[in-house]
Amino acid sequence: MKLQKIVNRLQKLHPKEIDLSLDRIKILCEKFGNPQDKIKAISVVGTNGKHSTINAIFSILNEAKIKCNVYTSPHIQRINERFIFNNQELDDEELADLFEEVEKINDNHEITFFEILTACYFYKAEKYPNNINLIEAGLFHRFDATNILKSNLASIVCSISKDHLDWLPKDQQTIEKIVFEKTSSLLNSNIIVSKQNSIETTEVIKKTINKNSSKKIYFNEDFSYSIGENDFFYYEDKFGGLKLPMPNILGQFQLENISAAIATLRLLNFNIKDDDIKNGLTKIKSLGRLQEIKSGKLKTLVKNNQLIIDGSHNEDGARVLNEYLQTLDCRKHIILGMMANKNHEKYISYFKDITSFTTIDIPGQPNSISGKELKEKFKNNQNVQYKKKVAQAINSLPLKENDLVIITGSLYLAGEMLNLN
C-alpha cells in the first residue's frame, strides 16, 4: 500500500506521461552527485529483443558469480521488476524507501514518471560500484532518460523496426529516422549490432554510427550462430566456436539475441568460462515473452492444450512470432488485444495459417483499442470474433487435442493475463 501511494504521487509530477528531454533528469541527478558517472554499464537499445538480450547476459553473469544491477521497462506484473540490485529484485519496502528518498530530493519539481524512476535507479546503483549495470533504453534513445551516461562498457543495438511512430512527425516516420534516434548518440566504447530484420536496416545503422570511434562488431560479419542437430546450436566469433545447448526460452529468434549477448561478454573479457555460458542459457527468465503457461486459472481453461502469453506489439514482433508459429505442427488460436497507437493492420498481416482470431479488450488500459474496433481491422477474414474478456474468448474456442492458444499483441495485455492467471 505504501509503495503504491508513492508511485501515484510520482506519476503526478508531470502533466505528460512522456516528454522527451534530458534536462529534468540531469538536474535531479546533479543534486545527488551524478551517480550515473560512477557506474559500469552496458546500454541496450533497439526496438525488439532488448529485454531478452539483457536476460541472457544477466543469466550468464549470474552463473559466473558476477554481480549485476538491472534496469528495464516497462514492467509486466509489478514495478519491482525494473529494479534489480546485486542480482536481486527489490522488495516493496526497499523500493518504497528508495522512491521516497529520491522524491524528497526532487522536492516536487516537474519530472516525468520514467525520468524519476531512472534517477532512482542511478541513485541506488552508485552504492554498488563494482557491479555490472544492464540498462535498457526506453523510447528511441537520443532524448531518453537513460542517455545521460558519460561512458559505458558497451552499447548493444538490438533489432530496430518501426514502432512508436506517433512520436514522430508524419514526414519522418521512416526507418532512417528511427535508427538515427536510437543510435546517433551512442557513446564511444564498444558497439555490438545484433541481427536486424533486413540488410537495409543494418546498412542504415552502419551509416549512422560511421563517425563513432567505438569498436564495432556486427552479426554475420564478426559473430554468428547456426542450428545443429540433437538440440544444440553453434556460436562463433573471433575468439572461437562454442557448441551450446538450446536455451530454455521459446523461439529461434531468441538465438539472435543470445548471440549478441555472448558476443558482448566475450568482447568485454569478463573471464567467463564456457560452462557459465552453457549453464546460463538454460536458466534465462523471460516474463511475458513467448512464455508458456503450465498452471493457473487460464491454463485450466485451455485444459491439456498449450497456452503461451507473448507481449509482441509491433510489426517486427509479429514477424518473428509468426516465424515461430510456422515451425509448429498444430492448430493455432490467437487471442489479440492491442494499444491504440499501434499499426494494427500491419501487425495482423504477418500471421498465416491461423485457425481462429479472437479480439479482446485490455482491462485497465484507457489507451488501448477496444476489441470491437480491433476486430474491424481484419480485412476479409471470416475466422475472427470479439469477446470482451479473455475467459470468454478461451471458452468460445473450438479447441481440439494438441491445439495452441496464444495471447498476444501487447506487453500490457501480457501483464494483465499473467496477473489474472
Specify the pairing of strand 232-237 against strand 223-227: antiparallel
- According to DSSP, the β-strands at 356-359 and 384-386 are parallel
Contact indicator for 359, 372 with CB cutoff of 8 Å = yes
Give, for 292, the enclosing helix (H) or strand (E): strand 291-293
User: Is residue 224 included in any domain, yes or no?
Assistant: yes
Residue 285 resides in a domain: no
Alpha-carbon distance of 60 to 72, in angstroms, equals: 17
Check whether residue 299 and residue 266 sit in a common domain. no
Per-residue confidence (pLDDT) for residue 174, from 0 to 100: 87
Antiparallel, parallel or unpaired: β 88-89 and 404-408: unpaired
- Which of 280, 300, 328 is the C-terminal boundary of a domain? 280
- C-alpha 393/C-alpha 354 separation (Å) is 15
In CATH, what number is assigned to the domain containing residue 195?
A: 3.40.1190.10
Helix H or strand E encompassing 324: helix 315-326
In angstroms, the Cα distances linking 157 to 79, 186, 209, 221 are 25, 10, 11, 15
Q: Average pLDDT for consecutive 10-residue bins of the chain (421 residues)? A: 94 88 96 97 95 97 98 95 98 98 97 97 98 92 95 97 68 85 96 96 97 97 92 95 95 93 96 97 93 96 96 90 94 96 92 95 92 89 89 96 96 94 94
Read off the C-alpha cell for 260: 549478441
Pick the last residue of a domain from 249, 280, 311: 280
H or E element in which residue 133 lies: strand 132-136
Q: What b/e sequence results for 61-71 when a residue is b if at least 16 CB atoms lie within 10 Å of its CB, and e otherwise?
A: bbbbebebbbb
The identity of residue 18, as a single letter, is: I
Determine the pLDDT at residue 165.
Answer: 60
Q: What is the pTM of this model?
A: 0.93
Residues 264 and 329 in one domain: no
- Answer yes or no: do 43 and 191 share one domain: yes
Cis peptide before 74 (omega within 30 of 0): yes
Q: Is residue 328 part of a domain?
A: yes
- Let me know if residue 377 belongs to a domain: yes
Q: What pLDDT does 5 receive?
A: 96
> Does 231 map to a domain?
yes
Range of the domain at 19: 2-280
Q: DSSP H helical segments within 112-238, as ranges?
A: 113-125, 175-183, 199-208
Q: What is the pLDDT of residues 279-313, one digit of tens each?
A: 999 999 989 999 999 999 999 999 999 999 999 98
* Domain shared by 315 and 247, yes or no: no
200: Cβ contacts below 8 Å, ≥ 6 apart: 175
- Cβ partners under 8 Å of residue 331, min gap 6: 355, 400, 402, 403, 404
DSSP assignment letter at 226: E
For residues 329 and 273, membership in a common domain is answered with no
Flag whether 286 is in a domain: no
Statement to judge: residues 97 and 224 lie in one domain: yes
Q: Is residue 110 part of a domain?
A: yes
Domain boundary, last residue among 225, 247, 280: 280
Which residues, in sequence order, are bridge partners of residue 156? 44, 192
One domain for residues 153 and 119 = yes
CA dist 105 and 371 (Å) reads 43
Q: Is residue 148 part of a domain?
A: yes
pLDDT recorded at residue 208 = 97
CATH of the domain at 299: 3.90.190.20
Radius of gyration of the chain (CA): 21
Interior CA angle at 150 toward 145 and 156, to 5°?
A: 70
Q: Count structural domains, the chain.
A: 2
